[in-house]
Every structure is written in structure tokens, then in C-alpha cells.
Amino acid sequence: AGGRAEAKPLSESDWQIARTVAPRLKEKGLIFVGLDIIGDRLTEINVTSPTCIREIEAAFPISITGMLMNAIENIIVKKQR
């Protein structure tokens, strides 16, 4: 309680953490999660309620919503094959 989200570019440490946990998350079928990172430590993986899409899309020229929908569509297409 009392925390606030701040959109900022990912550090190399953030990317390394994401690259480390991504394979295991993918194995479990998790295509969209939120990683809470403080300093260079992963403190939480938000599976049921990843947030900050609006804040990130407002701060950067990226469409997380579009990327997520594309990923879901790709999964559906693969399952139909």
C-alpha cells in the first residue's frame, strides 16, 4: 500500500531479470505478467492482475494492448491447427 507506478525505460538489470524468468513463465502458458522489480531484485510476479498498461502506453510509443492481442490471436491460431 502506498506505492506508485512510474513508467521509465528498462535497465539492463531489468532486461536480464525478464530474460531469466521468461522461459519458465512461457512453460506455464503465462503470456502476460507484471514483474515488480526494486533496484536489481525481482520482488513479485503479478499473474492475476498485471497493471500499468495505460501508464506505459501514455509514456512511450508502444502498444502493449496491441502486442497482447496479437499474442492471444497467435495462440488461438496455433491451437486450431
Domains of the chain from N-terminus onward: 12-80 (3.30.470.20)
pLDDT at 12: 98
pLDDT in tens, 3-44: 777 788 999 999 999 999 999 999 999 999 999 999 999 999
31, 19, 3, 66: CA torsion to nearest 10: -40
By C-alpha distance, which of 58, 65, 67 is closest to 5?
58
pLDDT at 3: 73
